[in-house]
């Protein structure tokens, strides 16, 4: 099963929350302390192999067939959008064709959490109803300066049927989990 499933993901959220940094960390495992603001949107791709949950795998015969059955090859196609208001009208071009949207805020910036809720409302009105949603609280390395607690983020994510995860693009903490959880939530074709 070498079929590659294409999973389109869009990152949305206020400027400066770390959308580009999350993409860069996931795709190249780098971090830039002084990254430049994204203009319009940028595109990145990365392929990963993820194990599938398979609770009924006892009947499979050889080790080989177990491996084949229990994995998915995912080709992420990631749209990293610009957060600025002037690019807002472009967002539907990116989220309409996507399987998942990652809504990012900065755990030290309440304004970015409010902005995330605006994005969620827009998606609820205009995006396909099966769009997988993830609320991502980034900059977990700045936990000491946190102004939105985890419970608040989780509760909000629950209220919009989204997954919730906290990440640090700087440390790399949970960045891979973020994308892998997204892939697991997107049903195979």
CB nearer to ligand GDP: give 41 or 66: 41
| Burial zone of 48 (CB within 10 Å; 0-12 exposed, 13-18 middle, 19+ buried) | middle
Rounded least distance, CB 35 to Mg ion, Å = 7
Which stretches of the chain bind Mg ion, using CB under 5 A?
19-20, 38
CB nearer to ligand GDP: give 72 or 139: 139
Which stretches of the chain bind ligand GDP, using CB under 6 A?
15-21, 32-35, 37-38, 83, 138-139, 141-142, 168-170
Write the CA distances from 137 to 49, 69, 117, 124, 181, integer angstroms.
25, 34, 13, 20, 15
Rounded least distance, CB 167 to ligand GDP, Å = 7
| Among Mg ion, ligand GDP, none, residue 168 binds (CB under 5-8 Å by kind) | ligand GDP
| Burial zone of 178 (CB within 10 Å; 0-12 exposed, 13-18 middle, 19+ buried) | buried
CB nearer to Mg ion: give 7 or 169: 169
């Amino acid at each position: 099963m070498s079929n590659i499933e294409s999973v389109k993901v869009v990152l949305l959220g206020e400027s400066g929350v770390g959308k580009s940094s999350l993409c860069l960390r996931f795709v190249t495992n780098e971090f830039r302390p002084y990254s430049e603001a994204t203009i319009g949107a940028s595109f990145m791709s990365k392929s990963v192999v993820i194990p599938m949950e398979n609770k009924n795998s006892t009947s499979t015969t050889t080790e080989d067939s177990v491996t084949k059955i229990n994995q998915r090859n995912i080709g992420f196609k990631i749209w990293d959008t610009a957060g600025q208001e002037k690019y807002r009208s472009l967002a539907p071009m990116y989220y309409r064709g996507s399987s998942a949207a990652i809504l990012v805020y900065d755990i030290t910036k309440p304004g970015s959490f409010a902005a995330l809720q605006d994005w969620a409302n827009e998606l609820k009105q205009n995006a396909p109803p099966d769009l997988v949603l993830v609320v991502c609280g980034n900059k977990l390395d700045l936990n000491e300066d946190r102004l939105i607690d985890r419970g608040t983020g989780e509760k909000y994510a629950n209220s919009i049927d989204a997954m919730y995860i906290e990440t640090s693009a700087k440390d790399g903490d949970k960045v891979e989990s973020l994308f892998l959880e997204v892939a697991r939530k997107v049903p195979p074709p």
